[in-house]
Structure 1
Amino acid sequence: MSKDNLTLYRWQAVDPPGSLQYGESLCSQPQELLTELIQSGLQPVTIKKIHKLRSGQWKNRERIAFIRQLATLLKTGLPLLPSLKLLASDHSLPAWRCVLGDMVKQVNEGQPLSGVMLQYQQVFPAIYPQVIAIGELTGQLENCCLQLAMQQEQVQSLQKRVKKALRYPLIVMTLALLITLLMLTLVLPEFAKIYASFDAELPWFTQLLIAASQWVVSYGIVGMLLTAGGCAAYIHYWHPQEKWRWREQQCQLKLPIINKLIRYGCLCQLFQTLVLTQHAGMTLSAGLQAAEAAMSHLPYKRAVGQLALRLAEGRPLHKALDESPLFSSLCQQLVRIGEESGSLDSLLQKLAQWHSEQAHELAESLAQKIEPLMMLFMGVIVGGLVIAMYLPIFNLGAAMN
């Protein structure tokens, strides 16, 4: 049974000896928590709702930390159940303490760890229970946990670099917009009053900016409210819809430089997942299904799903790759060599490493490439505003001479 739409509650209850007990629990409804406490022999006193949990609140770094710590404890020879108990008792976040506590309870009752993870689809992406299930079947749970942690760390590192590379131009453009608005609303109106006393014709550039300034002062608040409302509506209503995210991500694939970052990142994630699943003992078809479930970029998610379908039809992987424009010729060529030579695992590893290196290099050089353009952009905006404000003064001085 899937445990989605969970809410964190904090409760106090009295046990049979009369002592006051307290704790946290994750439930869909407070009635479920009430029933659970009564069945445990506790008399509820207070149940307080803390906050509703959404999928975005389960951070990847916390998942990686959990799975790596679990791998470390298992490597030392500690059994699974004591390892989970230790991680549950030491975790700093109440929501994670509740999830891990429920894991301890269900594993103690005989449930496999992978089966418990499947119940928490918001917490653990599909690749987690799939790889854990392979570890349980082969008796190599600690190795599978370690490989999963390493693969997820590589994906997270790449995502951080890409976000860092894109953050700089966004900050510069935001600053340029703020400076422009401040000058249009605070500085330029004062200059307009001075120029009105000259009773002289202003340059067309200055007239244009004064008209823009008057429009911003008159309708700027309304425009900002409409823009904010449109952004909020898009984020909360349209963006969660798959068709809108599909269009957005398709447009991203057409942007220069950005499309390379996305392609390298998605292909790196795909091949890293395939390497992980191959090492774990999963079939290539199951590995593609796991990669599809783990992929967040919708065009690539669909493309990987089509690869799995073509593979199920009996086609080799290199021919399936050749039929999609989202996969480069390098992918098709190396996979073909790997399939023909029987060394597919090592060539998938090389493809993952190559795409990772390309994405890292592009992310590191992106800021250096964009910095001159951003400085030019800022210079044109600020310089244009300054020239527009002082141009009438220059013309007036020339006329007086």
Structure 2
Amino acid sequence: MRAGLPVYEGLRIVRNQKIKKRFRNILDEVMRDINNGKSLADSFERQGNAFGNFFISLVRIGETSGTLAENLLYLSNELKKRRELRKKVRSAMVYPIILLIATVAIVALLVFFIFPKVMPMFENLGAELPTSTKIVIATTNFVSAYWMWLLGGAVGAFILWRLLLLVRPIRYALHYLFFFIPVIRMLTIDVNLANFSRVVAVLMRSGERIVNAVHVAARMLDNQVYRKKLEEATVSLEKGETIAGSFVHYPRLFPSMFVSMVEVGENTGNLQENLEYLAEFYEEELDSALRSLTTMLEPILLLVMGVIVGFIAISVITPIYSLTQSIGGA
């Protein structure tokens, strides 16, 4: 579009790229609506949840103000930053998950393959087994006998958990609980304030009213507590209260530094710049927190892994050692 291409031609070029069939079908419908005289924003809005409120708001503002090309460029950059932010959160959990899977695999190998081969030898000799060995044998027998029930129960519990999360009060209660768990609270604040600050700053740069910008940003956040409190804040803003004044009532969600920066921005007319700074600040805080969390989890998981594997290994080795000692003594 910056090269002078009409909107329809730009969409046609994107449509002919190697994209998913579902998205290609969506673009076909958007192009059909544009041919029928609808605006680009209205065409996107007709696609339901395919395009978010943030996306549609920026497009609508761009069409109204004649800055559509610039807004689409902003949108591209901001969506890229949001994608990188999600990628950082996911990648931070990869190593702990790998360690957890490795622990489960080693335990399964010992319990289901090694133990069944050596235990008959002890039973035939009538040797007195250590308590740790008896615990492992009992656990192995129980899992072997009821593994289908255990697997079904685990799958059922997971499905039930996912269904419960669809119930808004339960999801809200879970998200509220996050603020009482120190590490999760820190990550929750960093993610949500980084996203909120970035979205509001971009919308303000495009000319959106602050009330609408806060409303759009609230609907983009995943955390239900932040969404509810920000929606309450938009009501206060419509009544003439300042942003900082509406945030100060929720110190658990909005740290004093964040509120102070917003207040200074409102008083000096630099709110957009201050929000851009806050977005960068909380993104860096999140990056640092994720690195620290990964560094902290690594030795803890290795220790847990060592204790579990060591316990099972000792349960196997101890009776073998006792048996060889008794044979040697005889």
Q: Which residue does 1:250 correspond to in 2?
A: 176
Q: What does the per-residue CA deviation read over 1:150-170, in whole Å, with 9 as the maximum and x for residues that have no partner?
A: 111111111100111122212
**Segments of 4+ moved more than 6 angstroms:** none
8 A contact 2:164–2:170 mirrored in 1 = yes
Deviation at 1:394, TM superposition (A): 2.8
Q: TM-score, normalised by structure 2?
A: 0.93
Change (3 A) 1:363 1:293: same
Change (3 A) 1:220 1:213: same
The one-letter code of the counterpart of 1:273 is: V
Q: What does the per-residue CA deviation read over 1:87-124, in whole Å, with 9 as the maximum and x for residues that have no partner?
A: 22334322222211221121122211111111112200
Task: Mark the runs of 5 or more structure 1 residues left unpaired by the alignment.
Answer: 1-73
Question: Equivalences for 1:194-205 in 2 at 5 Å?
Answer: 194-205=121-132
Given candidates 335, 339, 344, the residue that maps to 2:262 is 335
Instruction: Tell me, in whole angstroms, the C-alpha distance in 2 between the residues paired with 1:125 and 1:310.
Output: 24
Q: How many residues align?
A: 327
8 A contact 1:84–1:100 mirrored in 2 = yes
Instruction: Tell me, in whole angstroms, the C-alpha distance in 2 between the residues paired with 1:249 and 1:147.
Output: 30
Q: Which residue does 1:120 correspond to in 2?
A: 47
Q: Tell me, yes or no, if structure 1 residue 319 matches structure 2 residue 245.
A: yes
Question: Equivalences for 1:150-299 in 2 at 5 Å?
Answer: 150-235=77-162, 237-299=163-225
Change (3 A) 1:272 1:171: same
Q: Which residue does 1:97 correspond to in 2?
A: 24
8 A contact 2:247–2:259 mirrored in 1 = yes
SS in 1 for 2:50: coil
Q: What does the per-residue CA deviation read over 1:194-222, in whole Å, with 9 as the maximum and x for residues that have no partner?
A: 21123232111111111111111111222
Q: Which residue does 1:107 correspond to in 2?
A: 34
Q: Which residue does 1:308 correspond to in 2?
A: 234
8 A contact 1:338–1:347 mirrored in 2 = yes
Q: Tell me, yes or no, if structure 1 residue 360 matches structure 2 residue 287.
A: yes
Task: Mark the runs of 5 or more structure 2 residues left unpaired by the alignment.
Answer: none
8 A contact 2:195–2:279 mirrored in 1 = yes
Deviation at 1:319, TM superposition (A): 1.7
Over aligned residues, Cα RMSD in angstroms? Answer: 1.8
Instruction: Tell me, in whole angstroms, the C-alpha distance in 2 between the residues paired with 1:196 and 1:391.
Output: 15
Q: Which residue does 2:322 correspond to in 1?
A: 395
Q: What does the per-residue CA deviation read over 1:229-267, in whole Å, with 9 as the maximum and x for residues that have no partner?
A: 2223433x3233323333333344444423322221111
The one-letter code of the counterpart of 2:137 is: I
The one-letter code of the counterpart of 1:302 is: K
My pick for the range that moved more, 305-314 or 348-357, is: 305-314
Instruction: Tell me, in whole angstroms, the C-alpha distance in 1 between the residues paired with 2:87 and 2:259.
Output: 28
Change (3 A) 1:243 1:100: same
8 A contact 1:162–1:261 mirrored in 2 = no
Larger helix proportion of the pair: 2
8 A contact 1:334–1:347 mirrored in 2 = yes
Instruction: Tell me, in whole angstroms, the C-alpha distance in 1 between the residues paired with 2:148 and 2:111.
Output: 13
Instruction: Tell me, in whole angstroms, the C-alpha distance in 2 between the residues paired with 1:255 and 1:190.
Output: 44
SS in 2 for 1:266: helix
The one-letter code of the counterpart of 1:294 is: M
Instruction: Tell me, in whole angstroms, the C-alpha distance in 2 between the residues paired with 1:230 and 1:355.
Output: 35
My pick for the range that moved more, 298-307 or 141-150, is: 298-307
Deviation at 1:127, TM superposition (A): 1.1
Deviation at 1:397, TM superposition (A): 4.4
Q: TM-score, normalised by structure 1?
A: 0.77
Q: What does the per-residue CA deviation read over 1:36-64, in whole Å, with 9 as the maximum and x for residues that have no partner?
A: xxxxxxxxxxxxxxxxxxxxxxxxxxxxx
SS in 2 for 1:197: helix
The one-letter code of the counterpart of 1:362 is: A
Q: Tell me, yes or no, if structure 1 residue 139 matches structure 2 residue 74.
A: no
Instruction: Tell me, in whole angstroms, the C-alpha distance in 2 between the residues paired with 1:363 and 1:349.
Output: 21
The one-letter code of the counterpart of 1:224 is: L
Larger strand proportion of the pair: 1
Q: What does the per-residue CA deviation read over 1:5-32, in whole Å, with 9 as the maximum and x for residues that have no partner?
A: xxxxxxxxxxxxxxxxxxxxxxxxxxxx
Instruction: Tell me, in whole angstroms, the C-alpha distance in 2 between the residues paired with 1:337 and 1:249.
Output: 30
My pick for the range that moved more, 361-370 or 124-133, is: 361-370
Deviation at 1:82, TM superposition (A): 1.6
8 A contact 2:132–2:311 mirrored in 1 = no
